[in-house]
Structure 1
Amino acid sequence: MLYSGLVSVTFRQKSPEEIIELAAKAGLNAIEWGGDVHVPVGDLARAKAIGDATREAGLTVASYGSYYKAGYGQSFADVLETAKALKAPSIRIWAGDKGSDKADEAWWKAVVEDTKAAAASAGEAGIRIAFEFHANTLTDGTAETLRLLELVGNEAVATYWQHKPEFNTGENLDSLRKLAPQLSNVHVFHWEPGIQLPLSDGIEPWRIYIDALQALEGDRYLLMEFVKDGLAEQFLEDAEVLKGLLTL
């Protein structure tokens, strides 16, 4: 089943309380809490309080949106403990900070080994790992993401997906379908190259993407990220569009 949600870093300037209120007002199901501003790594009391407040508002915690970058051999322990305090079912991580075109085999190996270690420790807590699908990482393309997932070789490691503004609908749909077997959540926004647009301008492509997602087994969150001009009013309009698409 598909559930609607909000990525908290869409509104970095807002407090967690304001974000919870806004998500509830929009009638969404969940929040992905970001680890850079709202739920800092290692602040377990804050993570617990925000997780509890989210659930008390009738929302769920979709995931912990960490900024852990695999490849540097950094400790994952504090990230995991924060996610546990938040009671997040999954942790989003980054496949390093180098694009696949700039990465040598040693870097691939480093990212793979860090991910394996993170997944092993998270798995003991029943928490999944998912890569951000993003430029300037090893998951900057579909083939590269599939390669990384294969090298990691852990069914508890998945990937997010988001549309690429420079791709047409068919190309984005092909990417989505290829990643579907190991797909976690989806970041939802509508851009054309260099231009943020209301989600209502992307109803047709998003209807196609959501149709493909609804055919998959399992539960996933469609998490709103980036709204035109960063306005709460635009977010509320976009939320209505997303909810409408999910009920078609």
Structure 2
Amino acid sequence: MTMVIPGIVSATFKTRSIEEVLRIAKNAGLCAIEWSENHHIAKSDIELAKHVSILTQESGLEIAGYGSYYRLGEGMDIKPSLETAKALGAKMVRIWAGSKPSAALTEDERKALISELSKAVELAKQYDIVLNLEWHKNTLTDENESGLEVLRTINSPYLHTLWQPTQALSFEERKEGLRMILPYLSYLHVYYWDESGRRPFDEGLEHWREYFSVLEKDKKYYALLEFVLKDSEEQFYQDAAALKALLQKGV
């Protein structure tokens, strides 16, 4: 049976303190957390990262990853994010695959992003940290084929990907994209949106039952909640309960 660990993306509650996020995660009965670079543990704040590592462990939560905002093509240095993740005890760091739609890139622009990514992956290897691409619109991973090509081109155990249901794609396209990237998948960002925006997670249970059915058997994944309706703590608890109930039925 596939092991799917329910958790939280700390950026779900951007304005809440680290302690509050941990309290909410514990109250919701969740097991893992992705800590945000922009909202909770700034890159290069090594002492805070070490402190949060201890707090997280004391709360009984696993650290799924470090949500970095390093973005290809912006002339950024990934090293501070890697050093902070190492201090946090995170084995995975989320990064962004550029800032333009994949279809709008010239061949030279795409090659430049791939070259930069290759160098970032080599540096991450030195820290024994796996980089994970954000699966997102207006990046190299906005279309299934483009994202898969990036992963195959780099072809390194130190480059994997996250996955989330991209709104620009149909349900069937999302499900097929998830199936395509399974060999590279680390974990999932979990939420439900419709045309109007954020919705309660339980309205998307049929979609998520299908998504989870695609996952490889006998492999561990994190399923981390984010984008709660109206940033409501109470709604978050309802979403977490719905996610846990779905996972308890087996995937």
> After the TM superposition, which residues 111-122 of structure 1 pair with which residues of structure 2 at under 5 Å, given as runs?
111-122=113-124
CA distance in 2, matches of 1:87, 1:162: 24
Match among 2, 5, 14 for residue 3 of structure 1: 5
Match of 1:198 in 2: 200
Q: Tell me which of the two structures has the higher relative contact order, counting C-alpha pairs closer than 8 angstroms and 6 or more residues apart.
A: 2
Match of 1:62 in 2: 64
Gaps of 5+ in 1: none
Match of 2:138 in 1: 136
CA distance in 1, matches of 2:185, 2:244: 21
* Alpha-carbon shift at residue 166 of structure 1 (Å): 4.5
CA distance in 2, matches of 1:51, 1:136: 32
Structure 1 pair 235/216, CA: closer, same or farther in 2 (3 Å)?
Answer: same
Q: Does 1:231 align with 2:241?
A: no
Q: Does 1:31 align with 2:33?
A: yes
The alignment partner of 1:78 has SS state of helix
Q: What TM-score does the superposition give when structure 1 sets the normalisation length?
A: 0.95
Query: For residue 77 of structure 1, what is the amino acid of its counterpart?
Result: K
- Say which is worse superposed, 143-152 or 16-25, in terms of deviation: 143-152
Task: Tell me if structure 2 keeps the 8 A contact 1:70–1:110.
Answer: no
Identity of aligned pairs, percent? 39
CA distance in 1, matches of 2:107, 2:75: 16
The alignment partner of 2:81 has SS state of helix
Q: Does 1:184 align with 2:186?
A: yes
CA distance in 2, matches of 1:145, 1:67: 18
1:4-27 superposed Cα distances (whole Å, 9 cap, x missing partner)? 110011110100100001001111
CA distance in 2, matches of 1:165, 1:234: 21
Match of 2:211 in 1: 209
Task: Tell me if structure 2 keeps the 8 A contact 1:166–1:193.
Answer: no
Match among 101, 110, 115 for residue 99 of structure 1: 101
Match of 2:49 in 1: 47
Q: CA RMSD in A?
A: 1.3
CA distance in 2, matches of 1:75, 1:167: 31
- Say which is worse superposed, 166-175 or 66-75, in terms of deviation: 166-175
Match of 1:220 in 2: 221
CA distance in 2, matches of 1:131, 1:17: 27
CA distance in 2, matches of 1:130, 1:120: 13
Task: Tell me if structure 2 keeps the 8 A contact 1:12–1:37.
Answer: yes
1:226-246 superposed Cα distances (whole Å, 9 cap, x missing partner)? 011110100000000111111
- Say which is worse superposed, 52-61 or 104-113, in terms of deviation: 104-113
Q: How many positions carry a matched residue from both structures?
A: 247
Gaps of 5+ in 2: none
* Alpha-carbon shift at residue 131 of structure 1 (Å): 0.2
Structure 1 pair 217/118, CA: closer, same or farther in 2 (3 Å)?
Answer: farther
